[in-house]
């Protein structure tokens, strides 16, 4: 099996994982189940007609389906409405009814892609740059965040990927985001952002609180800066610049670094709380 055929089979299986069942996918596309299983196994390739049905159903291009699997998985993580398209349950944690009753809808100007910058944890100078997508889904403002681990210089393989999903609401003139790690929901992050004042949206600033993944699992809070990239971007290019790097890395944007320092501070704005021993 050629590499592109193996990638196609893996990518198709990933898309199907969002659906209630393979049988449901075949029924909706009107494709024979036995034939579709051969596509998943990589023992047969779809005809032009079947390929168009597959692409139309999942909302992807044929060129995307033939991407290397690791890159395809990163892009799918940022596509809106995957679970809703198949009638699955919403993956969002949601807010209490009282929050929705008092919240305002997120203004349309905030929807799109952002690069997110924050210090990875207290006590070091590592900055994480990730890609965020905010989009409409079933009347809610959905937030998806993809973080890529830095690849060692000696490695050419795919980088480890962390994917988070959450919901955005506006409450008391602030933008609130609660997100959780999609794989196992082992980590939550709560972010509060100032809205953008004026007519031009470029940066959003605020604070985020999360559980550090480093040894010790310290509750951590840090300043965060989001740079607006636009409604439509080249996702592969935007992800390629993401990762974790020291704050003196010349590839990091200077204005992002300036925004990560608290007012009148000369040190990185990240704080971790140690466990009290009794």
Domain extents for the chain?
3-76, 97-272
- Structure pTM? 0.69
State the chain's mean pLDDT as an integer. Answer: 81
**Mean pLDDT in residue range 112-137:** 87
Q: Are 37 and 106 a contacting pair, CB within 8 Å?
A: no
As given in the structure block, the two tokens for residue 100 are 């929705």
Backbone angles phi, psi at 256, to 5 degrees: -65, -40
Q: In sequence order, what are the residues at sequence separation of 6 or more whose Cβ sits closer than 8 angstroms to the Cβ of residue 179?
A: 143, 145, 164, 165, 166, 188, 189, 191
For 143, the token pair is 């937030």
Mean pLDDT value across residues 193-221 = 85
What tens digit of pLDDT does each residue of 82-104 get?
A: 554 444 444 556 677 788 888 88
Where is pLDDT greater, at 146 or 85? 146
Task: Select the more confidently predicted residue: 236 or 262.
Answer: 236
Residue predicted with more confidence, 265 or 74? 74
Q: Which residue has the tokens 């320092």?
A: 261
Residue 39 contacts residue 9 (beta carbons within 8 Å): yes
Confidence of residue 20 (pLDDT cuts 50, 70, 90): confident
Q: Which of the four pLDDT bands, split at 50, 70 and 90, describes residue 224?
A: very high
CATH fold for domain 97-272: Lipocalin (2.40.128)
Look at residue 188 in the predicted model and tell me its pLDDT.
85
DSSP 3-state assignment of 121? Answer: coil
Least Cα distance to 78 among 141, 143, 136 occurs for: 143
Q: What is the pLDDT of residues 263-278, one digit of tens each?
A: 445 555 566 666 555 4
Could you confirm whether domain 3-76 is CATH 3.40.50.11810? no
């Amino acid at each position: 099996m050629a590499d592109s055929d193996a990638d196609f089979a893996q990518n198709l299986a990933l898309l199907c994982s969002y659906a209630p069942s393979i049988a449901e996918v075949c029924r909706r596309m009107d494709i024979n189940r036995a034939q579709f299983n051969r596509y998943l196994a990589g023992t047969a390739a779809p005809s032009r007609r079947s390929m168009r049905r597959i692409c139309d159903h999942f909302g992807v291009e044929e060129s995307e389906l033939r991407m290397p699997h690791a890159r395809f998985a990163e892009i799918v993580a940022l596509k809106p409405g995957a679970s809703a398209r198949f009638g699955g349950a919403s993956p969002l944690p949601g807010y209490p009814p009282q929050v929705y009753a008092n919240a305002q809808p997120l203004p349309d100007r905030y929807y799109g892609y952002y690069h997110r910058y924050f210090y990875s944890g207290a006590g070091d100078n590592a900055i994480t740059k990730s890609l965020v997508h905010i989009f409409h889904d079933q009347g809610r403002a959905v937030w998806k965040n993809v973080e890529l681990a830095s690849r060692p210089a000696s490695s050419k393989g795919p980088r480890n990927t962390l994917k988070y999903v959450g919901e955005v609401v506006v409450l008391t003139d602030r933008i609130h985001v609660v997100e959780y790690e999609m794989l196992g929901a082992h980590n939550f992050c709560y972010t509060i952002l100032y809205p953008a004042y004026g007519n031009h949206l470029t940066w959003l600033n605020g604070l985020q609180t999360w559980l550090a993944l480093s040894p010790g699992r310290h509750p951590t809070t840090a300043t965060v800066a989001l740079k607006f990239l636009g409604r439509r971007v080249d996702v592969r290019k935007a992800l390629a610049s993401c990762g974790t790097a020291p704050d003196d890395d010349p590839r990091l944007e200077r204005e992002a670094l300036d925004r990560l320092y608290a007012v009148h501070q000369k040190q990185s704005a990240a704080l971790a709380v140690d466990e009290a021993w009794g």
